[in-house]
Structure 1
Amino acid sequence: MATRAASNLWLIDKAPIDEITGALLPSKEQVLLRYYHHHREMGKMASGSRKAVVEEVLPFWSRDGIPTTTVIHAGTKLSKLVKAYNDLKKNKNKDRPKHRMDEEIFKGDLQEIFDLAHSSSLQRADVKDEDKEFLRSQREDRGESSMAGIDLVTAKKVEKQVQRGTRLKRLREREDSDIARLTERAEIPSQSSSSSSSPVSTTPSPARGSRSQRKTLKQSPSISVKDLNLISTWDREKLSVRQATSTFAATAQVLGVDIGSMAVSKSTVHRARIAGREQATEKIVELRNQEIPERLVLHWDGKLLPSLSGDTEDRIAVLLTGEDDAEFLLGVPTSLDSTGRNVAAVVLKEVDEAGVRDKIIAFCFDTTASNTGMVQGACIRIEQELGRSLLWLACRHHVHEVILKDVFEASRGSSSGPDIGIFKRLRD
């Protein structure tokens, strides 16, 4: 029976492969191409194709001594990869920048390893340190390490040559098609808002010019997925990895950055967020290890935050500031409640652990009753515990609210509720 010629897969622009080769752990692209060889060329069912691919991929991992996940979980992971590809394929004819952006992100993901390592691989004592390091390097950069058991030097050279040739060929083919099309279809919402809005520049994007013009993209301002301000914004706005990736790619494209040459993938963003949080933690530790000034201002503030159990809990942020912009975060411990007694106890515990009781000359706080109460307030209790009077630096925002309230009532009259009629009409 004659076999039909293999045609290239949409988006990937490669034909299904007969075998997974190389000295590296298989990538998502290799696994997907191998799946479609079984499913399309060999005529197997989807379940049979998944099983065959998983049985081929797992030996790559066991050969290097890395504990792997179960066959069922590996099959589920492959099923999600195939589904993601098919979902993109359904929208290939839709002319929307979002779909083109999702395609670019998916192609970036394909260059990552098809990760079948057990979740505890990096924590297990029975796994060698060199095996753990190999896994980390494969996750970070698949081209920087290779597996044992073959001529590593030769294999690495061959692999780099193949990758370099493939990368250059792919970039040349995409330069005048994909990147130009993506840039041309990028839409700015304000462009179609109204005829009275400011005119939008129609200057062609550098990506649509010649190759020499496109080289200037490298000299233009760019954004980095490793930027700490960007990572902290994602965390503060509670964006998922997928949302952060789409936002980053769309922002880069609007700013004129060539996203076709960037490593834009969910895995890259996820690793950057982990690294960013680690750097923030190291910065806090460095601040706590600095030399503490002789005169300090004690700050604290409480907030209800979700706990690991799903409920909410009171957290008290305790901070010290001093001369020359010195700042020390003592901790964000939990409190039984927000009463003055418990808040004072939590704050004083952090102060005692830092050993700075004698250096505090003032404290800064919100003007809530639990803080300012003259009998049970946290400020009074802290002063009594320290055995001396301190300078009270009440929140200026809250203090001015009281002053402005009197000004408003003197000019507009008193109000019986939070809704002021004239302000509601102005807002509406």
Structure 2
Amino acid sequence: MEESESQSGENAKGTVRPTSSTTRSATEIYLVGQPASSIRGSKLPTMRQVLKFFFHTVNESGDRQETFKETVRNVLTFWNLARIKTISERGCREKLTRLWEHWRSLQKSRDRAAKDKVENFKSQLDLLWDIGAPDAVEDIEKNRLLTPADKQQDIAFYQDQRGERKAFMSGNDKIFAAKKRKQEERVEKQRSKQGRFAACEPSSSDSRPQTSVVADTPTEVEMEKKDTAIQPGRYTSKHPYVTVQLPRRILQEPALKELADRLRISNNEIVSVVAAVLRSANPPGDLSEFRISRETARRARASHLRQVAAAQREAFTPPPHAVVHWDGKLVKNVVGEEEHRQAIFISGRGHEEGKLLAVLPVKDGTGLTQARATARAIEDWSCASNVKALCFDTTSSNTGRVQGCPSGGAAGKTAVEAWVQTPRHGTGGESLCQQHLRQNIGPYGPSLPDS
């Protein structure tokens, strides 16, 4: 067989030129078989079918690059008939070029080529020459012209062709073809409409005097370089204004209140923004018809915060054995005045990182004041019966035998089993409250009084 194949010969371009021998073996292609003048069948082409058609066409024309294009066009006909998305035509040609180069390397070194490489190539010849796009299956699922049953059938066919190749195409789907044709007509009609609008729209250069017609008129060469596809015009049918309905009590909308608290926008700022939006309408909105004022914003945000806090307390499940942490700090409010703030945490199983109960303003940092604030927070969150230990730093307001915060009833009406004292700042340890106050308590926040 190798002797007959060597008789067939091949030029430098890889074009197989049969000799004058009339035997069938004289025109047989190495590892591929006889060339074929067409790709036939009701399945997606295999690598063997593609190579057979390629060698037949290149023998006829002698132009390998044109043969690559012609072969790809014939293969794409089958994939389009199967309604399966493929890679670009250029990508198909590059893939076919790599396949031919692989065959060419084996053909050149067939006397010394490793048998395993040859056998591997022969075993792949009857497999699908897969040029499907990476999102081919997703494209089928998103096709609105197909019914769910057709989508499943197309996906199953594609998967079968990549495997056992038992399924086959039954022919052209006339119903789908009609739907596809109508869709293309609608798209073409829309493009033509946009093109007319773009042509009718006066350009900015029309108002200027044209001193040279030759300079402004493009030559034929320049026109050929331009893309002949119809580009969408700048015309838009959308009106510059949109009709909407706004509530009179716009500052009480939950989304607006949440945004103001999240971005830490003051009441004056949120009122100014809403008023500017209303005045930007056409015609400008009458501000007297809306309930917008600084006091309205303050009440709405305070009510929203109370609702959020109530929902948080309702959803909170305290740990069975809870530890209460507290600590105080002097912070400056928005007017620059210092005031006492006390943070109360609770920790336990399920809340190892600590659950913040409250950051309360207190009149001073004495033990009794801290005890009352801590007890109130514990009662508000309904976890007094779960408190088994107290955690605090070693200040006199906490460790005092008479006026200390634990002695003043910080745990409420419950039996405390342990006191945990943490070192002071800078001595090697911090409580959860100390960490929170050091990292998160700033000069302004939704819980601080607004000016």
TM-score after normalising by structure 1: 0.32
TM-score after normalising by structure 2: 0.31
Does 1 or 2 have the higher relative contact order (CA < 8 Å, sep 6+)? 1
1 or 2, which has the higher helix percentage? 1
Higher-Rg structure is 2
